[in-house]
Structure 1
Amino acid sequence: MFMGEYIHTIDGKGRLIIPVKFRDALGEQFIVTKGLDHCLFVYPRPEWETLEKKLRELPFTQPEVRSFVRFFFSGATECELDKQGRILLPANLRSYAQLEKDLVLVGVSSRVEIWSQTLWTEYSQQAENAYASAAESLVHLGI
């Protein structure tokens, strides 16, 4: 399980150090793709395979399903840690998530999210304001 928030930087070549606490759970090879809210989603291989199976079962005759699946998979890339614990993020993913220098890596249960520090700060402030009402909604769902 992934949890926590880690501030890192990306170098001029697009390399990012993955926090040690995330490395073991991610494994040697993992998948990075376009996430929601202009962040990147990082999945360990077994979690990716489970998600891929679920997405294959969706009704591809629905335009919104096709659109989501295309976008999600077109941005996916397999990453491997180098000897320094870094990965190379492709330019298209850096552009999508507006990653320039300062980043935040966030553990979100079954995945890691990579955020621009600016976007994460903005998102966190909005989420904090809605946190209590979201918790109340979850209670109504039995969580």
Structure 2
Amino acid sequence: MGEYKHAIDEKGRLIIPSKFRDELGEQFVITRGMDQCVFVYPRTEWEQLEQKLKTLPFTKKDARAFTRFFFSGASEAAFDKQGRVNIPSSLREYALLERDCVVIGVSRRVEIWNQSIWEEYFAESEASFSDIAESMENLDF
């Protein structure tokens, strides 16, 4: 958990906070995320997600689209000696990662956001937080 601001360099490398590096391990998976961000999963968490996605019925158009979205953008990654991850250009383009980024911990994954997109998303979500919380009442939250 947590929120950290870092800059991505001209080669597409981004420093990941050490607390996240420890949780992600040496090898991890990076892919497209929801809401125009990048998701980063520890290898074991990715494998569990992969098993769940395999159970989706391939005869359903939405299931095929969803699995294609995740798998086509996914790649294995590792940290360099400075604790940076090299974000593939396709993911940088998808999430508009150009300079200022926000790295957040969300349960069992890390998300990487363009700072201005994150700030806009957070402001919109914050304004409707009580409505969102109320709608989650049925989830026994």
Q: Under TM normalisation by the shorter chain, which class is it?
A: over 0.9
TM-score (norm 2): 0.97
CA shift for structure 1 position 141: 2.7
Give the 3-state SS of the residue equivalent to 2:85 in structure 1: strand
Give me the CA root mean square deviation: 0.8
Q: 2:42 is matched with which residue?
A: 44
CA distance in 2 between partners of 1:139 and 1:36 (Å):
23
Superposed, 1:14-53 pairs within 5 Å as 14-53=12-51
What is the percentage of aligned positions where both structures have the same residue? Answer: 60
Deviations 1:39-62 (A, max 9, x none): 001000000000000000110100
CA shift for structure 1 position 140: 3.6
CA distance in 2 between partners of 1:139 and 1:8 (Å):
35
Choose from 91, 102, 105 the match for 2:103.
105
Choose from 115, 118, 122 the match for 2:116.
118
CA shift for structure 1 position 138: 2.0
Choose from 69, 89, 92 the match for 2:90.
92
Higher mean alpha-carbon deviation, 64-73 vs 95-104, is at 64-73
Q: 2:77 is matched with which residue?
A: 79
Q: Does the alignment pair 1:66 with 2:64?
A: yes
Deviations 1:7-47 (A, max 9, x none): 00000000011101101100001001000100001000000
TM-score (norm 1): 0.96
Amino acid in the other structure paired with 2:140: G
Uncovered stretches (5+) of structure 1, i.e. residues with no partner: none
CA shift for structure 1 position 71: 1.6
Give the 3-state SS of the residue equivalent to 2:97 in structure 1: coil
Aligned residue-pair number: 141
Moved over 4 A (4+): none
CA shift for structure 1 position 85: 0.4
CA distance in 1 between partners of 2:64 and 2:140 (Å):
32
Amino acid in the other structure paired with 1:107: G
Uncovered stretches (5+) of structure 2, i.e. residues with no partner: none
